[in-house]
A = this chain, B = another copy of it.
Amino acid sequence: MNEINVLAPASVSNVVCGFDCLGFSLERPFDQITLRRIPERTVRIINRDGFGLPTDPEKNVAGLALEAILRASDADFGFELQSTKHIRPGSGIGSSAASACGAAVAANCLLGDRYSPLEVADFALAGEMHASGSRHADNIAPCIFGGFTLVRSTDPLDIVRLDFPPLFVTVIHPQIEIKTAVARAMLPKEVPLKSAIRNWANLGSLVAALSKGDYNLLARSLEDEIVEPVRGPLIPCFDEIKRVSLAAGALGGGISGSGPSVFMLSETRETAEAVEIAMQNLFSSTVIEFNTYVSTVNPNGVIVV
């Protein structure tokens, strides 16, 4: 095989009480990636979109993932990657993870599926580290494995696929910029033990609710008193987004990644669409540009077309 096309989906990380470990894959938006063998043992990047991402592979998350897999394998060829991104960089729904995972999955296909999904995730992580500045796999994991994933450990990488019931997601992306590094610097170094206990009790309950398909328990478990109070104020109308979404029937939700996107989970597509309308109505009265998406929680990660 000399060429392959993959679709790499957006994903939500830092799922409320699952800060830094829980994520899930979206059905849309997604990036389109074409990877081609080239005779030289090198990596070449061509961007087919208007986002102006770097084409130097050393400065490009997909390029770094490809270099990692090239270094590890004894391939006597290289890769040319053409990328058409639909996930806006900086939106907080796993844009860089999609680039890194799409590239790593495609490269693994061209290498005859030599590596396990966990190994592929590790190559993608090499690229993602460039974007986030540290080893965070909570967008990588759902983008590779699909569905809901829990990163139990980053080093060594230990990823748990969770069972989950049908769920629909509404995402609003207010088009302001929040630097991941800034959002990370705001985090407290220490947290009250009491808050930490409430958080892990909620995360345990959330995992149980997903596995049982208990939507009421899921809604009760979507609580975060550690990160949301610190980062929520960075996002325009954050409290109002939550309020109108819950009023429209959402189970709950919070900041996607380090923002500025906000996601809400719903039991049905109809509710998720009602939540989208409520979000649109709210932001239409502001001067802030925004996008909204309605999606399933996608059981698939990157797919080969």
A residues in contact (CB < 8 Å) with B: 17-22, 150-153, 158, 160, 162-163, 187-193, 196-209, 211-212, 217, 220-221, 226
User: Which 7 A-B residue pairings sit nearest by Cβ, starting from the closest?
Assistant: A200-B200, A21-B201, A196-B196, A190-B190, A152-B205, A207-B207, A211-B211
**Contacting residue for A204 out of B150, B192, B212, CB 8 A:** B150
Assess the A20–B197 pair: CB atoms within 8 A: yes
Assess the A21–B189 pair: CB atoms within 8 A: no
Assess the A188–B193 pair: CB atoms within 8 A: yes
Copies of this chain, count: 2
A150-B208, A188-B193, A199-B200 given; 7 more Cβ-contact pairs under 8 Å: A20-B197, A21-B200, A150-B205, A152-B220, A191-B193, A200-B203, A203-B204
Assess the A208–B162 pair: CB atoms within 8 A: yes
Q: In the assembled complex, which residues on chain B have CB atoms less than 8 Å from the CB atom of A204?
A: 18, 21-22, 150, 152, 160, 200, 203-204, 206-207
Contact A160/B22 with A196-B199, A204-B203 known, Cβ cut-off 8 Å: no
Rounded to whole angstroms, the CA-CA distance of A95 and B158 in the bound complex is 37
Assess the B193–A187 pair: CB atoms within 8 A: yes
